[in-house]
Copies of this chain bind each other. A is one copy, B any other.
Amino acid sequence: MRIKDIGEFGLIKRFQKKIKTDSCVVKGSGDDCAVLKLNQSSYQLFTCDMIVEGVDFFKTTDLRLVGRKALAISISDIAACGGIPKHAVVALGLPRNMQVHQIERLGKGLFDLAREFNINIVGGDISASSKLIIDVSMLGVVEKNKLCLRQGARAGDIIMVTGEFGGAIKGKHLKFTPRLKEAQFLVNNFKINAMIDVSDGLVGDLGHILEQSSVGAVLYESLIPLSKQALGSEEALCSGEEFELLFTASRDQASKIIKSVKYRFKVIGEIMPESFGLRLINYKNRYSRLKLRGYRHF
């Protein structure tokens, strides 16, 4: 049996079964970040994301954008948990024939974004590697009552998103601004029941919320905000690496959230009981069942 037979998530589930953690761990593997006990008022968030040449970017991609992306995806994970990013370490796998000015360009993208988000780059590791690899591990902090996980959605919640979806591969996946300000605005002013950043696709990541919250959902095709790059709503529903936030809140909270002037949040559906599954109401007002599939690495 090869990885592609069980997929990335099948593999993760196999690993998760073998993991035992102690009482310092509030939430281990299976969310955007691990959640660790820190002090009376706050938790620490801990996450890592690896990007690899030929998979997450190409040999011809501007290395400033590659460095930027490497950091941005971890910021997005911390944001999705309601936290604030603080510190990062960076492991680099570098091809031996790489030019120093190329690596410095990569560093520039990474350091510039770190400065913009007040993140301390506190260490790293450099190895030789046939392809360029960057793995960023990040620490953040979240007030206990602001922590958002995938598991808090409840039937009746309204499903909302930041931004627009579709065609991220055409550039947004390298240039997106992590939705930290939006996430902070949400957790500081409202009660958010579940939140995730959309890296595996809208349907795929909504699927993570549904699975971990043991609920179902209905999405309205006509409500999916489409980016200019979107090929259509079907593509927008599956497009990976959009790095928008997907979250749920009670109907009461949602009605206040959509009135926000500072940031625009859009309703795309509603959380339903688990038995409902996941359904899409299309433009013709007809139901169809959706499969919970997003981007697959294998």
Contact = CB atoms under 8 A, between A and B. Distances in A.
Interface string A2-27: 11111010011011001111101100
B120 A3 contact: no
Interface in A102-142: 103-104, 107, 111, 115, 118, 120-131, 133, 135, 137, 139
A54 interface: yes
Contact of A93 (B52, B86, B122, B126): B52
A124 B49 CA distance: 7
A264 interface: no
A55 B98 contact: no
Contact of A89 (B100, B122, B137): B137
Number of chain A interface residues as a range: 35 or more
Interface of A: 1-6, 8, 11-12, 14-15, 18-22, 24-25, 28-31, 33-34, 36, 39, 46-52, 54-56, 86-87, 89-94, 96-101, 103-104, 107, 111, 115, 118, 120-131, 133, 135, 137, 139, 297-298
A139 B46 contact: yes
A29 B98 contact: no
A121 B28 contact: yes
B133 A46 contact: no
A15 to B, nearest CB: 6
Contact of A122 (B29, B55, B104): B29
